[in-house]
Structure 1
């Protein structure tokens, strides 16, 4: 038996000619969700697969044997239920609703833009039909989502970039808008933070003297919440 302990997701980094020459092994989902299993490749060799726990093997992945040979994984067709919106009065949103209810039941689901796939279950099939979805039995490869925390790689794809802001980005999101270290008031600036924010007139402004220049006080307009105001703090 040839031992295999390395997996290259989708043959990443391999030249197409090497993938074309590689032996193949056809596995259904029941086997591919395991990290340790035995299989026979297209050359008739017995393989013992020992991968890190939690690894999901996908169709198109490449196993690297201890002798350096490559074995490309083919997702074997298997019985599945294909779920699509009702052609008469359904909508794509029905698939979102179905995925939500199936996810609440921890059902492995393959997500596609126009359909879902699950393993055969007549109870779930009846439930989906009552939701005005079309459910058909077919024999197809099954690649369900692996979950956000699954080891290896899931059914989706990986973005090779992050969403951080480079040095030329005009703003950052780590600043504060409160009265922290970088927000100061002048020595003679004093106010409170009550809902009605006003600056009361000084004694000099209340009783101006003849021949003196007097600053006219500015009263800030307070915001009063009445019974019909549609928001609160």
Structure 2
């Protein structure tokens, strides 16, 4: 048995020439949502797949065997319910409403612009028909949505790469010094600059203890704050 413990989503980074030469394996959704399973590829080799827990295999992904050989995964056709809106008495919005109700029941759904696909369930089929939707039983590859948090995304998520340079600059830079031209509203609580400990007194010590907390700011003629407000 050939052991496989690595998955390349969509064959990322591999040339099309290598992918064309690679063996293939057809798997239905029931198998592909498991992280450990056995299969047989197009070359007749027995595969023992041991992926990290929580992994999901999608059609087009590439399995990498311990000997470096590649196996391209194909989503095998399987029985599914195909849901369409009624062209005579409904509208495409009916599909959105159906997806909402199915989602509330945690039903795995494949979303298409003009249809919904789900695994066979006669109770759900009856419910959808009562919502004036057309439901048919077909055979098709099934690729349900992975969820908002990528729980079943199989590594297909993407990073937005937001920059946090602004926040880091303020955290690491010198404290801002407030003044008449700083443009900040001084009605709020004292900033970090004012909360800092006062500088050590200069000159000969007078034996008077200095408080670690700064005295509250008192507005006056020499405080340098604008008072025209």
Does TM, normalized by the shorter one, top 0.5?
yes
Distance 2:99 2:129 in 1: 13
Number of positions where the alignment pairs a residue of Structure 1 with one of Structure 2:
181
CA distance in 2, matches of 1:131, 1:164: 46
SS in 1 for 2:103: helix
For the Cα contact (< 8 Å) 1:75–1:142, is it kept in 2?
A: yes
Q: Report the equivalent of 1:12.
A: 12
State the partner residue of 1:196.
none
- Structure 1 residue 141 corresponds to structure 2 residue 141: yes
Distance 2:105 2:190 in 1: 51
- The structural deviation recorded for 1:119 is 0.4
* Equivalent position of 1:124 in the other structure: 124
User: Following the alignment from structure 2 to structure 1, what is the Cα–Cα distance between the partners of residues 185 and 92?
Assistant: 42
Matched residue, 2:94: 94
Q: What corresponds to 1:221 in structure 2?
A: none
Q: Helix, strand or coil for the counterpart of 1:10?
A: helix
SS, match of residue 18 in structure 1: helix
Maintained 8 Å contact 1:55/1:150 = no
Residue 182 (structure 1) shift: 9.0
For structure 1, the residue ranges without an aligned partner over 5 or more in a row are: 168-175, 191-233
Q: Given the two structures, how large is their TM-score scaled by the length of structure 1?
A: 0.69
Give matches, 1:166-205, under 5 Å: 179-180=187-188, 186=225, 188=227
For structure 1, which segment, 46-55 or 91-100, has the greater mean C-alpha deviation from structure 2 after superposition? 91-100
Indicate conservation of the 8 Å contact 2:110/2:144, yes or no.
yes
In 1, Cα distance between equivalents of 2:86 and 2:14: 42
Q: Please, what is the CA RMSD of the aligned residues?
A: 2.8
TM-score, normalised with respect to structure 2? 0.70
CA distance in 2, matches of 1:178, 1:115: 58
Distance 1:41 1:118 in 2: 26
Equivalent residues of 2:55, 2:154 under 8 A apart: no
Q: Deviations over 1:136-186 (max 9, x none)?
A: 11000000112233456369x65564455988xxxxxxxx98943699x95
CA distance in 1, matches of 2:186, 2:86: 53
Name the CA shift for 1:178/1:10 in 2 (closer, same or farther; >3 Å). Answer: farther
Inter-CA distance 9–32: structure 2 relative to 1 (3 Å threshold) = same
- Give ranges in structure 2 of 5+ residues lacking alignment: 167-183, 192-218, 220-224
Equivalence for 1:198: none
